[in-house]
Amino acid sequence: MTEPQNHNKRVLIVGGGIAGMQAALDIGGSGYEVVLVDRLPSVGGHMHQLSETFPTLDCAQCIMTPRTVDVGRHEKIKLHTYSEIEEIQGEMGDFRVRIRRKPAYVNWDICTACGACTEKCPTSIQVAFDRDLELPKTMRSGRVRHEGTGKAIYTLSPQAVPKKPVIDADHCTYLQSGKCGLCAKVCPVGAIDYEQGPSWSEERVGTIILATGFELYPLEKLGEYGAGRVADVIDALAMERLLSSSGPTSGVMRRPSDGKEPKEVVWIQCAGSRDPELAMPYCSKICCMYSAKQAMLYKHKVHHGQAYIFYIDIRSAGKRYEEFIQRAMEEDDVLYVRGKVSKVFREGEKVVVWGVDTLTGLPLEVAADMVVISPAMVPSEGTQALAGMLGLKVDEFGWWTEQDGNLAPLETVRPGIFVAGAGSGPKDIPEAVAQGSGAAGKVLSLLARWGGHDDQDAGHDELGR
């Protein structure tokens, strides 16, 4: 079979989570140019938000930071963060991609990331990266709130790559009412640009990897668990932020409503998963593991606390996963209750959980200090729109459809377009990394058939504002 020599050997990766970063590093490390697009200001995806990882309890930031740093400084990886795909045309070997960058109101080319703007900004905001956790004012000050978040000009985290700030236009006093302007006054290099608008650029690539990841099913849709309106009922990513030493409490275990240490915490698994009548029929695969992890970490912080996990059954199929669950039960005294929770509501200072222990058949009531919901994993917002642009299909829940779930799990129906990571269905980090490397391997084997390296200097056009 002869292959065309003039195919473009640059690669587009959409999504800079752990799967997209792994693919980018493998392809960039082989000497090919990568264009990596993420809608957030920095790369890392959800792993960036995690405290520690099952089953090894490695610190997520510590094992991920070398990867984000490598991605940030790799000469073959071109980052387009705070950006989304607006249009893709063409076919394998010659895709033209139009990318829209949102206004950051900061000129990143000259910003030195000194942080003076964030430090001086007087406007506090809820932090999406911290799942909008609202903590008492006393908890926000001093030791327990790190710099760089919670202000109208912010970076995603102290370890963000790139670590350049963006202004939240909806909350910035200057952009809303023309008052303030403090960040522009303190910026030593004049990087603040309140007039900045969106900008567009065009990239030409020959292959594409879609690594768009997942989101959590919103608490608002889970009426039986309080629909996100009951104080101290939080979702599992919020718990990751509370457990994380880079989180809003610096990892000190506190509940959001009053900052008190929670003495009894209940986890509810399968919230919106395995629920064909009301939500998603599928198993989200990782909740059993991360609930056990969180309960363990909670116990390591609150030694005399009690952790309860309500489960339907435990799914721990992975290397050393079952041993991890046993450790949670035996070493950390996590109390597993087999049963489904029917209602969660507030009663005074407590959050009451009503359920049935299906092993004994007896009703059960726990008056907890905090409840952690483990919601279903769902595809990232915008996956369907991207599929429309690419002429690809998503399944009935919105996950990327593989060409063949058994034998071609990384291919799509279009030649030269691949999927990797949790965008095609729930996955843990090892699987997402393996898929990132797998998709990179698929791309590299195509590039090898297309002939040597080609740096395509003409692969990028600035289209201006």
- Binding residues for ligand SF4, per CB under 6 A? 106, 111-117, 121, 123, 152-153, 165, 167, 172-174, 180-183, 186-187, 189, 191-192
Closest CB to ligand FAD among residues 16, 93:
16
Residue identified by tokens 């005074």 is 348
Q: Which of 28, 41, 45, 262 binds ligand FAD (CB under 6 A)?
A: 45
Q: How far is Cα 48 from Cα 66, in angstroms, rounded to an integer? A: 12
Asked if 241 is part of the footprint of ligand FAD (rule: CB under 6 A), the reply reads: no
Token reading at 300: 């390591």
- Name the minimum Å distance from CB 118 to ligand SF4: 7
Q: Pick what 427 binds: ligand FAD, ligand SF4, none; C-beta below 5 to 8 Å, kind-dependent.
A: ligand FAD
Instruction: Tell me which DSSP letter residue 369 carries.
Output: S
19, 153, 209, 325: which one binds ligand FAD (CB under 6 A): 19
Under 8 Å CB-to-CB from 280, ≥6 apart: which residues? 217, 272, 273, 274, 376, 378, 397
Query: 284, 214, 207, 285: which is closest to 23 by C-alpha?
Result: 207
One of 54, 95, 298, 324 touching ligand FAD (CB under 6 A): 54
Q: Which stretch binds ligand FAD (CB under 6 A): 45-53, 110-118, 444-452, 453-461?
A: 45-53
Q: Smallest distance, Å, CB 161 to ligand SF4? A: 15
Q: Which stretch binds ligand FAD (CB under 6 A): 33-41, 70-78, 152-160, 449-457?
A: 33-41
Compute the distance between CA of residue 117 and CA of residue 122 in angstroms, rounded to an integer. Answer: 10
Q: Which is nearer to ligand SF4, 104 or 292 (CB)?
A: 104
Whole-angstrom CA distances from 29 to 75, 460, 464 are: 9, 20, 30
Count residues binding ligand FAD (CB under 6 A): 39
Residue 80 near residue 86, CB atoms below 8 Å: no
Identity of the residue, 36 or 167, whose beta carbon is nearer to ligand SF4 in the bound complex: 167
Q: Which of 117, 392, 134, 361 is nearest to 258 (CA)?
A: 134
The minimum distance between CB 211 and ligand SF4, in angstroms, equals 29
Q: What is the largest CA-CA distance in the chain?
A: 74
> Which partner from the list ligand FAD, ligand SF4, none does 359 bind, CB cut-off 5 to 8 Å by kind?
none
Of 17 and 459, CB closest to ligand FAD: 17
Q: Residue 115 binds which entry of ligand FAD, ligand SF4, none, with Cβ cut-offs from 5 to 8 Å by kind? A: ligand SF4
The SS3 call for residue 156 is coil
152 binds, among ligand SF4, ligand FAD, none (CB under 5 to 8 A by kind): ligand SF4
Picking from 378, 427, 383, the residue whose alpha carbon sits closest to that of residue 218 is: 378
Find, among 25, 26, 31, the residue nearest to 10 by Cα.
31
Span from 141-149, 211-219, 255-263, 358-366 in contact with ligand FAD (CB under 6 A): 211-219
> In this chain, which stretch among 212-220, 335-343, 356-364, 449-457 interacts with ligand FAD, using CB under 6 A?
212-220
Which pair of tokens denotes residue 246?
């880079």
For residue 148, give the nearest of 188, 103, 175, 113 by alpha carbon.
Answer: 113
For the residues of 34-98, what is the DSSP string, one character each? EEEEESSSSS-GGGGG-SEETTTTEEHHHHHHHHHHHHHH-TTEEEEESEEEEEEEEETTEEEEE
Of the residues 7, 11, 12, 15, which one makes contact with ligand FAD according to CB under 6 A: 15
CB of 20 to ligand FAD, least distance (A): 6
What residue type is 21 in one-letter code? Answer: M
Cβ neighbours of residue 441 under 8 Å, at least 6 residues apart? 26
Binder of residue 428, out of ligand FAD, ligand SF4, none (CB less than 5 to 8 A by kind): ligand FAD
Determine how β-strand 233-235 pairs with β-strand 370-375: parallel
CA distance 259 to 215: 27
Verify binding: residue 269, ligand FAD, rule CB under 6 A. no
Give the residue with the Cβ less far from ligand SF4, 76 or 164.
164
Which residues within the stretch 288-347 sit at the binding site for ligand FAD (CB under 6 A)?
290, 293
Rounded (10°) CA dihedral 57, 61, 67, 69: -160
Rule CB under 6 A: is residue 14 a binding residue for ligand FAD?
yes
Residues binding ligand FAD (CB under 6 A): 14-20, 37-40, 45-47, 50, 53-54, 84, 211-214, 216, 236-237, 240, 286, 290, 293, 380, 382, 386, 421-422, 427-430, 432
